[in-house]
Amino acid sequence: MYKYLLFIWLLAAFSFAAAAQSPDTSSAKLKSKTDSIEIKKNDTVVSATPVVKKKKEKVYHPDSLHSPHTAIMHSLLIPGWGQVYNRTYWKVPVIYGALGALAYYINWNNTNYTQMLNVSIFREHGTVPAVGSKYYNLYQLYLSTDVKQLYNATDYYRRNRDLCILGVFVAWGVNVIDAYIDAKFMNAYTVDNNLSMQVTPVLMNQQSFAQNFSSSYIPGLKITFTF
């Protein structure tokens, strides 16, 4: 009898020990599920808040090595030199074309002025230039022309010559001003794709003299350029 009780007691003790040593799979499964939930939760948070890159603003930095004063001095000394300094080479032929045309008309008007003046002097004094001299053929050409008309022609050529001389100074001055403006604002402008045009309807107030009895407003269009 005692042997049977001892055998039953030992069997129960071994069963309890074996049950205590078996791994707790339910807690492990619960822990793994918790970890997976945390990982998925963290992944979802990261993907939901993307990093937005800030666009770098463009800052204007003037060219400290490009001097407007240097451009002015260059154009004062030699026309077009300031334009070469500013790298606007296409303006150089325009400048010399204008100055060349003015120089041509200065010479042409001055030649005619000198000829008409000498012929007028010969006619007024009643003298005839020597045969074969510089003004003999011209004197014969205007022999029947009134002296007053000769003096008017003389004044005409003199005035045109003086105007052309004044034009040279004006063209030279424009050349200097143009060189200064190009040098001053060489890096002040940027050309990009931020250009747009917007057309919107608006209601405009009518002037008091144009109002009628129906309405004091008239429809219109507003055009906005953005650059």
Question: Which whole number is the average pLDDT over 18-47?
Answer: 49
| Residue 216: exposure state from Cβ atoms within 10 A (0-12, 13-18, ≥19) | middle
The answer to the question of residue 179 being in a domain is yes
In this structure, of 47-51, 66-70, 103-107, 121-125, the range with the lowest mean pLDDT score is 47-51
Question: Which whole number is the average pLDDT over 163-183?
Answer: 96
User: Quick check: 178 and 195 in contact, CB under 8 A?
Assistant: no
Domain count, the chain: 1
pLDDT of residue 168 exceeding 60, the answer is: yes
pLDDT of residue 84 exceeding 70, the answer is: yes
Pick the more confident residue, 224 or 5. 224
Q: What pLDDT does 219 receive?
A: 75
The answer to the question of residue 163 being in a domain is yes
Written as one letter, the residue type at 39 is I
The answer to the question of residue 94 being in a domain is yes
The answer to the question of residue 147 being in a domain is yes
Both structure tokens of 72: 């002015």
Pick the more confident residue, 29 or 108. 108
* Rg of the chain taking only CA atoms, in angstroms: 50
The answer to the question of residue 22 being in a domain is no
- Which residue range forms the structural domain that includes residue 166? 68-184
The answer to the question of residue 34 being in a domain is no
The answer to the question of residue 120 being in a domain is yes
Q: What pLDDT does 12 receive?
A: 62
**What is the rounded end-to-end Cα distance, in angstroms, of the chain?**
109
CA–CA distance, 161 with 112 (Å, rounded to integer)? 10
Q: If we measure between CA atoms, which residue out of 197, 215, 172, 191 comes closest to residue 80?
A: 172
Pick the more confident residue, 47 or 140. 140
pLDDT of residue 40 exceeding 50, the answer is: no
Reduced to 3 states (helix: H, G, I; strand: E, B; else coil), residue 196 is: strand
Pick the more confident residue, 53 or 4. 53
Model confidence at 30, pLDDT cuts 50, 70, 90, reads: very low
| Helices of type H across 22-53 | 25-48
Q: What pLDDT does 129 receive?
A: 87
pLDDT of residue 41 exceeding 50, the answer is: no
Pick the more confident residue, 115 or 9. 115
pLDDT in tens, 196-221: 777 788 777 766 655 555 566 777 77
Question: Which whole number is the average pLDDT over 168-176?
Answer: 96
Average pLDDT, the chain: 77
The answer to the question of residue 74 being in a domain is yes
In the DSSP assignment, the letter for residue 220 is E
pLDDT in tens, 91-145: 999 999 999 999 999 999 999 999 999 999 988 888 888 888 888 898 898 888 8
Q: What pLDDT does 134 receive?
A: 86
Q: If we measure between CA atoms, which residue out of 168, 184, 165, 187 comes closest to residue 72?
A: 184
